[in-house]
Chains A and B, each alone.
Chain A
Amino acid sequence: MTAVTPRIRRGAIGVGHTRLPLGPAYALLLALLYLPIVLLVVFSFSANTSLSFPLKGFSLEWYGKAFGDAAMLAAARNSLVVATIAGTIATSLGFAVSMAVLRFRFAGRRILLALAAAPLVVPFVALGVALFLLFNLIGVPRSLLTIALGHSVVALPYATLILLSRIIGLDPALEDAAMDLGASYPTTLRRVILPLVGPSLMSAWLTSFIVSFDEVALANFLAGGDPTFPVFLYGQLRFAGRIPVLIAMAVLLMTGTIILTLIANRLRSRNS
């Protein structure tokens, strides 16, 4: 034996020798994660009035009823409005934070970055209480707008992290070149930066949208008479008879959210 054979294949380093059945373990964990969701979807298409076996056959009754429920449709529409406003604010501010922090040296730089990430470390019940008291103190009645304002704050860390990780990879020379050629800074942002980070902006917007669309703990404190869908759901879930219709509607909205998440993920991986 003269030639030393490499003991380990490249790429497989560190794991090539593990005999642990990681693949099957992953499959099992994934199955456990899907099972409850699949059960809900199955029951939403069944004639059962409660979630119990045996299944009583296929039915679209609950979906039909869901589309006839005006209060529920209004709540779903409210969620769309709130998430659109919150997503837009969070993405705009997240972009501003990323550019300011990555392109400028200024006194409050670290504070700005820390503040933009800080909503992540505050339990929603505490922030909910705090915003509830603020709106009371300044005399702003609770409404869809107050929910959207609250959501813009909790979605900001997500939007900022997505945009930071994209803009950190952009060569500042691109901006310098545009400005040397006479473009103003706003023009440079609009014509050079925005096209380059477009997909990441979209991904940040979708992520913020979903954070808001699904959020209930904060929204509960900030909702007026007009609920978002999760707040509506939270209030209705104690009525057992309502559950099949609620699940049908939730399955529909959930399908939308999943599609948006997959789009956001694809945009992000393509843009970096």
Chain B
Amino acid sequence: MLGRRGSLRFLAVPPFAWLILLFVAPLLIAILISFRGERGPVDFGSLLQLSTLQYEKIVDSPLWVRLLGISAVMALIVAIGATLLAFPIAYFLAFRARERAPVFLILLLVPAATSFLMRVMAWKLLLGSSGAINSFLLWTGLIQEPIGLLLYSQAAVVITLIYVWTPFAALPIYGALQRIDRSHLEAAADLGSGPWSRFWRVTVPLSLPGVLATFFMVFIPTVGEYVTPFLVGGTDGIMYGNLIQDFFTRAGNWPLGSALAVIMLVITLALVAIALRVVNLRRVVA
């Protein structure tokens, strides 16, 4: 171990330094800037002139607070939807596919590996008023007028994101189901437990860490989404992320944008912390 001891520095220092410089420091800077009073240029000298002005503005803006709530609910629906669709996929792969599981897994990886923007675009083109669904229905004569409500709505954003996340969502659940010791199920069967009660009282509880990991894997990026709402949401479907992005591009108010981002980050991390208390996620990773 002697020769190795000296090597610890060589292994641990680069990732530590990298993450502190490019992950911890930027987040701290964003927090500091969110406490700035005015928009002026950002420099080290004025970084510590703190004010709660931006947070007061946000608290006084019911529309923004409401948008945060709407985005959280949309992310909740997307996360639940993707998890519910992913569960049977994962269950099939883990328990039914047997020796063909690798093949079925590859079939699932293809849509997962398809470009995110392309899959969002696919739905824009499917749902548009001259899009594939409408033109197909017109062509077959099932409708006479294009259905206008398909695109540019919250529903379009939610449907698109559920679609985008489902193939990824299946992977952690599949991992959790695979790790279930089959002898637990045998024991339950020997003790007279039927298929449904085995499923609900053995399989589901044991897969819970994977299910929860999936939920957050979908929920976290969705809360901060701005790309999908921009492409398929229109004005009715904008999310909290669009608000943040707007303050960094068109509106150009970085302190306010930072404050909005910090609020979202704090809420997200609080939810993750609660979840980590409920289920030990380390078992999912290990």
Contact = CB atoms under 8 A, between A and B. Distances in A.
B114 A54 contact: no
B212 interface: no
Given A22-B92, A97-B11, 8 more contacts: A33-B166, A34-B110, A52-B132, A122-B265, A131-B22, A179-B4, A237-B117, A261-B109
Given A36-B122, A121-B272, A99 B11 contact: yes
A132 interface: yes
B111 A129 contact: no
Chain B interface SS verdict (over half): helix
B59 interface: no
A37 B132 contact: no
A214 B221 contact: no
A80 interface: no
B264 A126 contact: yes
Q: Which 10 A-B pairs have the closest CB atoms?
A: A123-B224, A36-B122, A14-B185, A130-B26, A261-B113, A52-B135, A51-B125, A125-B224, A134-B26, A130-B30
Nearest to B160: A36
20 contacts: A7-B189, A23-B92, A26-B88, A26-B93, A30-B89, A40-B118, A43-B125, A53-B132, A118-B23, A123-B265, A125-B225, A125-B226, A129-B30, A129-B258, A133-B26, A156-B15, A161-B285, A251-B118, A258-B110, A261-B113
A152 interface: yes
A153 interface: yes
Given A29-B89, A39-B132, A122 B231 contact: no
Contacts, number: 294
Given A36-B126, A40-B125, A126-B30, A152 B132 contact: no
Contact of B223 (A100, A123, A260): A123
B102 interface: yes
A245 interface: no
Interface of B: 3-4, 6-8, 10-12, 14-16, 18-20, 22-27, 29-30, 33, 42-44, 47, 85, 88-89, 91-93, 95-96, 98, 102, 104-119, 121-126, 128, 130-132, 134-136, 138-139, 163, 166-167, 182, 185-186, 188-189, 194-195, 198-199, 202-203, 216-217, 220-221, 223-227, 230-231, 241, 244-245, 248, 254, 257-258, 261-262, 264-265, 268-269, 272, 285-286
A72 interface: no
B92 A25 contact: yes
Contacts of B11: 96-97, 99-100, 104
A74 interface: no
